[in-house]
Each structure stands twice: as structure tokens, then as C-alpha cells.
Structure 1
Amino acid sequence: MSSAWHPESRGTLTVHAVSQEELNVRLAQDIAQRLSAAIQARGFAVLSVSGGKSPVALFEALRVIDIDWPRVRVTLVDERCVPRTHPDSNALLVQNHLLQDLAAKAQLVFMVASAAEPLHTPATLAKAASLALTAARVADVLVLGMGTDGHTASLFPEAPNLADAMDLRNTQSCVAIELKNPPANAPYARITQTLAQILSSRHIVLPLTGTDKMNTLQQAWEHATPALPISFVLQQTQTPVALWLAN
């Protein structure tokens, strides 16, 4: 990436450039304000979050902010097809790092409800997750992540059914993703919100750090391509997206 390149806000996409030290605290404050506003407007708020290691610091900054947590429903952007008690479960990660301190009273909506093996097929799990997400209602804030390969949620460039998952006419909230070559550190089938479900949110945030991810962002900034699924989030004008970039 050229050191001179920096994205600028455009249309429904806003860019917040902050220091690494400020990123999680400021973003947590922003999310908390939006959740509080939703509670005032509708009596409850829905926060949809991604798993993995990247959002852990954000979760730990958010969980100590004093909002009406019993009125907050937490949903998952994607999940591994493992029991919800499995060490690699996104639900377990959210329980351990977000639903603590003041946020312990929030309600977690599981994508995989079972706590033990055997599990249903990924397709059956995805159908159940779709029902759970629909019942939880539209996300007021949805926190996305992005890999250096341009994937977001579990919308991976090489997924065999990526076109179905990215089809805005798909009425399912979730689909199963079974990669031919899954990441070695997480070799599981997955359930993910579809692009249509992600874009049904009222506000999307995408925090990014690191030169490699900035390089990927620069490519995705130019045009939408299935080679970089995140590009479809950046190029759309349906839903407000806030980029939070640590410099």
C-alpha cells in the first residue's frame, strides 16, 4: 500500500482514524451510545458481533460501560459448527470476553444451541440459526472483522456456495459454509449471516489495524469483487458503515 493512501468518508461510509491506544475505547463508547439510543427508541437493543481474537479488546472495553445491559440481545455474525461449550466456539469467546462485568446481564442468542456432540448437519444448524436471528430482530450495531484475504463473517472467497451467501435475494438469515481447505487453526464447517442479513443492520462497524489489512482494504475500496467479499459491504449504499482505522 502506498503510504500516501488513506480512505476518505463517502456516501454512507464514514472513516474514523484513531490511534491504536484509542481505538477500542472510542469504538466501545460509540457502540454503547447507539445501543442506549436503541433501548430508548424500542425498549431493547441488538448487538451482533464477530468472533476470533481481533474483537477481544473491544469486548473488554465495552463490557465495563454502564448501559441497560439486561435489555441488550447479543447475536453472532458467524459461528463454527461446534458445541457452544467448545473452546473454538465464538459463543464461548463472547461469553468469556463480552458477557462479563456490567455486560453479564445481556442476553446471548446462540447460533449453535447444543452444548454437546453430536450436532445436526451444518445446513440444519443454519436453518435453526436463521430462526433465532429473526426472532432476535434487526441488529442496531453489527461488528464486522476482515481477514487479509478479504473475507468477512464466514464469507470466504473460496467458499463453494459464496454466491448463494452473497445473493441479496436470499431470504435465509444464515447459511452453512463448508470450505474445501479450511484454516488449519479452525478446521470446522461454519454458519454465517448472509450478506443480505448483514446489510439489514442499522449500523455496521469495521475496525482494522495492521499494514496487511490496510493493503486488502485499499483493494476492496476500488470495486466489488467476489475475490474480496468485504468489498460488497464497502461498495453498497443501503446500510451505514463506519470504518475505524488504527494508525
Structure 2
Amino acid sequence: MDIPLKEMLEVGRRGASGGRASASSGIYDELRQRILSLELPPGTNLLRAELAKQFDVSVTPLRDALQKLEADGLVKIYPQSRTVVTRIDTDLVHDGHFLRRALETEVVRRLATDGAPETIERARLIIGVQKLIGNDDTQLRLFQELDEHFHRTLFDGIGQIAMHDLIRSRAGHLDRVRRLQRHSPEKIHAIIEGHLQILDAIEARDVNAADAAIREHLHKDPDWVDEFRNQHRDYFA
């Protein structure tokens, strides 16, 4: 599929944004990404007046966005007082990883069993954009958003977007620890190669290979969080 660079990047940006449908969802998406990228680190006070001015919105959509972030466990709202970005909870990190691994393993097995040419085509396009921007440090946030969109595309391929949204709502603590990892060229390459191996197995209709590829891609040692907690104690509860 021969698609120009400009069009590929635009597709990537549209996919990463998830098609923002309202002021509230747009604010939620933007603040969520800032929190996950640690641009807004744990413990940050979110000043509602400043946010309303920044997003040029009234109180209502901002309040709705913050309430959704609180439901995700990413902020704590103190009524009539302040809103604070939560610190990372290690137990919630492990819970989020368990849920993600369990559901994504089933997704790739279903795709490999049933066949998914359209899903594979869409996912390879996302990988194409990741390859183009992977060596550009200024595009790291877009790369990370595309990583999420890649996995969302797999869920969409079996009609289970709701299950991806469930993971998304439960993985905020996990995703923040993942963002603490250094994204070296080797790490970027490993992520892209992992995506390719998953798709190759699905395309080959090899259920066992797809299972092995997603498990390898999502693998974490039991004590993997400890290193980051020791390095960033102020970020953890």
C-alpha cells in the first residue's frame, strides 16, 4: 500500500486522537495524555480556572473531563478545593497489566482464528507511521499514542472496542510506569518488531504463534516496577 508520508502522518494523528467528539472528551484526552506522559507528574495541582482559560471552555465540560479522569484513578478531586494528579499505586499497576495481558491474548487468538485482512492492513499503516517518527525524539508522545491505537485496532477487529476502553480506564497507573522507561532506539525498534511479529502471526492464521507474540510483547518481570519506584519515589504512593 503506497501512501505518501504526509497522508500517513495525518492518519496517525487522527487515529491517536480517537476522533474527539466533544469539548469534554477533547479535554479528557489531552489531560490524560499529559498525565500519562508525566508532563503533569504525580502530585501536580490542577488549577481549574487556568485549565478553563487554556482550553477556552466553561466549567461544565472541564468538570466532566476531570470526573472521568478521577474515575480512571488519575486525579483526585477535592470539592471546593483542588484537583491533584494521583501518585502511582503499584497494586494498580500489576492489576492493569494482568487485565491487559489476559484480554489482548484472547484478542489475537480470535484474530488469528477468524482471519483479519482489514485489521492487519490498518495496523500495518500505524506501524508505518511509527517507523517514520521512531527516531525523532520530538515525536515520542505521538509514537506512544500510536502504540495505544495499534492495540485498539486489534480490539476493533473483533468488535470489542468496549474491552479496550475497559483496559484504558484501568491502565493509567501501568501506563505511567511504562512512560518512565527510557525509549532508546533499541526500545523503539523492539516495540515495532513486536507489533510486526503479532501481525505476521495473525496473517499466517497461526494461533499459537500469535499467542506467543503478544505474550512476549507484553511480558514484564514480577519485580519490574521496583526499579522505577526506587528511582522516582515521589511519583509513587
The verdict on a shared fold, with TM-score over 0.5 as the criterion, is no
Instruction: Give the structure with the larger helix fraction.
Output: 2
Q: Which interval holds the TM-score relative to the shorter structure?
A: under 0.3
Q: Which has the higher contact order (CA 8 A, sep 6+)?
A: 2
TM-score normalised over the length of structure 1? 0.26
Instruction: Give the structure with the larger strand fraction.
Output: 1
Higher Cα Rg, which structure: 2
